[in-house]
Chain A
Amino acid sequence: MSKQKRKTPQPAPGTETPDTKNLAAEASDVKTSEVESPEAKTSEIKTPEADSLETQTPETQTPEADSLETKTSKAETPQAETSETETSQPKTSEAKKPALWAALLDRIRRPGAPPRQPLSQTHPVLYMVVMLTSLTAVLAFLLGFVNGITAPLIEKLRQETLLASISEVLPGAAGEPEMVEGVWTAPVQTVRRAYSAEHDFLGYAVEVAPGGFGGPITAVVGVQPDGTVSGVRIIDMKETPNIGTKTQEPAFLDQFTGKAPGFVLGTGADDVHVISGATVSSTAVYNGAAAASSAALTLK
């Protein structure tokens, strides 16, 4: 494709000037020796239209050739010219060159005509590869760019939500809770010590991520030093809307408040009741809360 593209403009500047001169000289010297392809030649040098066409592209034309041509076209009327070309004898070797050259030049100049064949027509498979690759690359770049902007904001919001939830599950907690170093078994993710504004130890804020119906449910469990659960808040979940998501409503979560270590799922007065239709999600939240309670007990 690229070879074809380059070929088109290249011969034009080199051959144009001598050719035009040659033709113009020919025209003025030997009128009868003109052309056997009338369209190409007459349009090139004789008719006024051709002349105006020539002058439209001054960068490819030398002034001498231009003035010569203007002279010849002025000297001869188009009518006389056509009659002469009709009677002229064939001069194949001389006529072929300008015909091709004129055709190429004509193709370039025509306002609507594409100067180069598009890649999609000459190399369709290459075009597909290039298009899909560049499309994907542009989108990937865009996504990376937007992610670079939004990721810190999202993380900041997540931290804010986490801190807000901690102060909800451990009422009175103030400031940044202090991380407890240690290796935790799933679903426990992190354990923080929460203090009140007067620096009294309130309890542990345990971040858990038990597996629910649609992936891990991230939650914060407040646990008092004796292992009693003081509250549960869901940070993030991808449960089924209106079924699994019922587990983040207070009606379900408030059951955990005040549960002593060793609480179980069941139907008794002191048990945690699952939501019918959302057994998996309810059990997941229970697992998280129970694991948080036992994790806090081991810290004593």
Chain B
Amino acid sequence: MNQTLRQFKNGLLDQNPTLVLLLGMCPTMAISTSLANGLGMGACATLVLICSNSAISLMRKLIPEKIRIAAYVVIIAGFVTLVDMLLSAFLPALSQSLGLFIPLIVVNCIILARAEAYASKNSVVRSALDGLTMGLGFTAALSVVSIIREVLGSGALLGRRVMPDSFPGVLLLVLPTGGFLTLGFVIAATQKLMAGRKGGKS
């Protein structure tokens, strides 16, 4: 139980894949222009993370160490393609909104990193939980960045206008440059917060 809590804390804060480990920058920059996109990408990545972590954990004793990366890539790419095909055949509405992100998951290094750092050394249940917590951490970080970029960049949230009509929207924030700037500020704020927490404890 204690370990479960620690895993959640790890995924969301201490080892947050986006804000602390700085993994998956490419999808973060491309996706975090609106909250709907951020949530969609987060959900897809979480699903694939849970699946691939479980599969790799199951096979961790069979996969020879020297070719493990190749084996992981095969497993992850296979899963992503399967999810893509199944979604577009059986859940076309969801596929319409998430379809753009699914191919991006293949290049999301969070998934490979968790396979290498966690799933290849831990039990199936723990690895699946790690996939869930890391996915949630990724989703949370994406959401924060997307909210900032959508509100300030297009003056809307979830497609609905929240800023006064006179607010023009900062185009820079919608473009990838703005993604890096926003992420930098969010990372700085997170570090400050976490340093404060640790300082208070000791």
Q: A residues engaging B (CB < 8 A)?
A: 120, 124, 127-128, 131-132, 135-136, 139, 142-143, 146-147, 149-151, 153-154, 157, 238, 240-243, 245, 276-277
Contact = CB atoms under 8 A, between A and B. Distances in A.
A75 to B, nearest CB: 49
Contact of A277 (B70, B100, B171): B171
Contacts of B171: 276-277
Interface string B161-195: 00000000001001100000000000000000000
A131 B81 CA distance: 21
Contacts of A154: 85, 88-89
A158 B71 CA distance: 34
A68 to B, nearest CB: 45
Contacts of B92: 157
Given A241-B101, A245-B100, 4 more contacts: A124-B66, A150-B89, A153-B89, A243-B174
Interface of B: 30-31, 33-34, 37, 59, 62-64, 66-67, 70-71, 74-75, 78, 81-82, 85-86, 88-90, 92, 100-101, 154, 171, 174-175
Closest 7 CB pairs of A and B: A150-B89, A139-B78, A242-B33, A153-B89, A150-B85, A128-B64, A128-B67
A132 B71 contact: yes
Q: Report whether over half of chain A's contact residues are helix, strand or loop; otherwise say mixed.
A: helix
Contacts of A151: 85
Given A131-B64, A277-B174, A146 B86 contact: yes
B148 to A, nearest CB: 14
A241 B100 contact: yes
Contacts of B154: 242
Given A135-B75, A277-B175, A241 B90 contact: no
A117 to B, nearest CB: 15
Contacts of B75: 135, 139
A131 B71 CA distance: 9
B33 A243 contact: yes
B74 A241 contact: no
A124 B82 contact: no
Contacts of A139: 74-75, 78
B78 A120 contact: no
26 contacts: A131-B63, A131-B67, A131-B71, A132-B67, A135-B71, A136-B74, A139-B74, A139-B78, A142-B82, A143-B78, A143-B82, A146-B82, A146-B86, A147-B85, A149-B89, A153-B90, A154-B88, A241-B31, A241-B33, A241-B37, A241-B100, A241-B101, A245-B100, A277-B171, A277-B174, A277-B175
B85 A146 contact: yes
B88 A150 contact: yes
B32 to A, nearest CB: 9
| Most chain A CB neighbours (cut-off 10 Å) among B34, B64, B70 | B64
Nearest to B175: A277
Contacts of B31: 241
| Most chain A CB neighbours (cut-off 10 Å) among B31, B100, B101, B175 | B100
A157 B37 CA distance: 24
B58 to A, nearest CB: 12
Contacts of B174: 242-243, 277
Contacts of A153: 89-90
Contacts of A277: 171, 174-175
B81 A143 contact: yes
A200 B92 CA distance: 33
A240 B30 contact: yes
A213 to B, nearest CB: 12
Nearest to B82: A146
A153 B92 CA distance: 10
A127 B71 CA distance: 13
B34 A241 contact: yes
A4 B64 CA distance: 22
| Most chain B CB neighbours (cut-off 10 Å) among A120, A131, A147, A276 | A131
Contact of A128 (B66, B85, B175): B66
| Most chain B CB neighbours (cut-off 10 Å) among A124, A143, A150 | A150
Contacts of A143: 78, 81-82, 85
B30 A241 contact: yes
Nearest to B176: A240
A146 to B, nearest CB: 5
